[in-house]
Structure 1
Amino acid sequence: MPRRRVHDLDHVLDTAERLVVELGAGGVTVRALAAAADVPNGTIYHGFGSLPALLARAWLRAADDFLRLQTELVEQALPAGAREAVVAAAGAPAVFAERRPAAARMLFTVRREHLLGPELPEADAEALLGLDARLVQVLVRLARLLWGRGDRHAVEVVTTCVVDLPTALFRRALTGPAADGAVVINADLRRRLTAAVHAVLDLPPTPLPTRKG
């Protein structure tokens, strides 16, 4: 079988996602990655500069793709109301896991600092800050749609729904063994997530302090 072209870098990143999940970030080597991706070792250095830079790029790519999907799901759900938009944002990991199982496993089960080292290139560091800012924008927007406020207390409630609950409910599916690397988040888990989100939203955020005249 002929080797893949040097510039087929997305395939290398796809392979890196899978190996990070299977071996852990510390277990991925240039030789193992090149062999699994069926490319020469030089592809990694020519395409990314170093293995740490490649692993960082894999995580950033997955995070960017996830946030794009989450935003799309929120937009699609908004006509049904703010609560349904929050449910859609919370359920985004399940949809992402169906489409990109290895990326989802890496993104939600591997600590990002294990892939984003202290010597992160400036461009990647800026990309990381941008991703964090985009997530905050989603959370603030949902809080304002729900309660007309985007303060810390309101955003914390939305964060519970969008980040904490899916992490808790989907973790076993994301970390457990599955055929062909697939992630199975069944309908029962999704219904429980929806119920949990609605239960949290039934309690409004801590009232803002009243200003004294």
Structure 2
Amino acid sequence: MPRPRVHDLDDALDAAERLAVEGGPSAVTLRAVAGATEMSNGAIYHAFGSRGGLVGRAWLRAAHRFLGVQQESVEQALACLSADGRAAAVDAVVAAADSPAIFAERFPQSSRFLLTVRRDELLGADVPEGVSDELSRLDSVLTELFTRLALALWERKDGRAVEVIESCVVGLPTGLLLHGRRKPDTAMRRHLEVAVRAVLDLDPPTPGKRHEINTKGSS
């Protein structure tokens, strides 16, 4: 008997990304992915279990690729922490903020996939429990990164400090680097770096300070 053909599942995930980017979430079906690859409907179903399993795995792969790029950049910056702690911590936040640009260079299709396709519209309710659990853990990975950077920079991990890091790593890149969904260029990346360093020049607000001010003002 002939041996069963072994398929590269990355081909199916590549096809799912491409279909979603070009045609939107509804364009990603098992039949469409089969038509874009050499896999049969049955082989795709056997590998992923359902459309939800397929698109969930595609999203997870893209997200893990991005987090891997970001983690690598942060680790390289923090490697100098013992020599100059403040400068290394600032550089690490800048590196984390710049990660979408590096990600776009290394994985252009995965970058467009994460940037242009809404996760909730792509996944819907048909997501296997294991995939759903792994997706939920992604948020905690980012929160851990924000906390680590706040500790490295200010030796603080309270909500106000973590919010400043989140603004630098998520808010500023979204507004300056990913605006208009254009490929980040050198000027955009430089503007982002300057903005992040300017924010980090200011210490985060003291926890509870706003409440104390309001209390004094009302007395």
When the two structures are superposed, what TM-score results if normalisation uses the length of structure 1?
Answer: 0.86
* Counterpart residue number, 1:104: 111
Q: Is the 8 A contact 1:6 1:39 kept in 2?
A: no
What is the CA distance between 1:46 and its match in structure 2? 1.4
- Identify which of 154, 158, 166 aligns with 2:173: 166
Give the Cα–Cα distance (whole angstroms) in 2 for the partners of residues 152 and 94 of structure 1.
27
What is the one-letter code of the residue matched to 1:29? T
Give the Cα–Cα distance (whole angstroms) in 2 for the partners of residues 129 and 114 of structure 1.
16
Give the Cα–Cα distance (whole angstroms) in 2 for the partners of residues 200 and 27 of structure 1.
41
Q: Is the 8 A contact 1:31 1:41 kept in 2?
A: yes
| 1:114 paired to 2:121 | yes
Give the Cα–Cα distance (whole angstroms) in 2 for the partners of residues 192 and 107 of structure 1.
23
Give the Cα–Cα distance (whole angstroms) in 1 for the partners of residues 137 and 197 of structure 2.
29
* Counterpart residue number, 2:73: 73
Percent identity at matched positions? 53
Give the Cα–Cα distance (whole angstroms) in 2 for the partners of residues 188 and 116 of structure 1.
35
Give the Cα–Cα distance (whole angstroms) in 2 for the partners of residues 83 and 192 of structure 1.
15
What does 1:1-213 correspond to in 2, within 5 Å? 5-78=5-78, 79=80, 81-172=88-179, 175-176=181-182, 184-209=183-208
Gapped regions of structure 2 (runs ≥ 5): 81-86, 213-219
What is the CA distance between 1:139 and its match in structure 2? 0.5
Q: Is the 8 A contact 2:74 2:96 kept in 1?
A: yes
SS in 2 for 1:81: helix
What is the CA distance between 1:26 and its match in structure 2? 1.5
What is the CA distance between 1:6 and its match in structure 2? 4.7
Q: Deviation digits for residues 120-166 of structure 1, max 9, x if unmatched?
A: 21211221122111111000000111111111111111111101111
Q: CA RMSD in A?
A: 1.9
SS in 1 for 2:123: coil
Q: Which runs of 4+ in 1 moved over 4 A?
A: none
Q: Deviation digits for residues 82-115 of structure 1, max 9, x if unmatched?
A: 0000000001111111111111111122221123
What is the one-letter code of the residue matched to 1:197? V
Q: Is the 8 A contact 1:6 1:43 kept in 2?
A: no
Q: Is the 8 A contact 2:151 2:157 kept in 1?
A: yes
What is the CA distance between 1:172 and its match in structure 2? 4.2
* Cα gap change, 1:203 to 1:109, in 2 (>3 Å): farther
How many matched pairs? Answer: 199
Gapped regions of structure 1 (runs ≥ 5): 177-183
What is the one-letter code of the residue matched to 1:104? S
What is the one-letter code of the residue matched to 2:187? D
* Counterpart residue number, 1:179: none
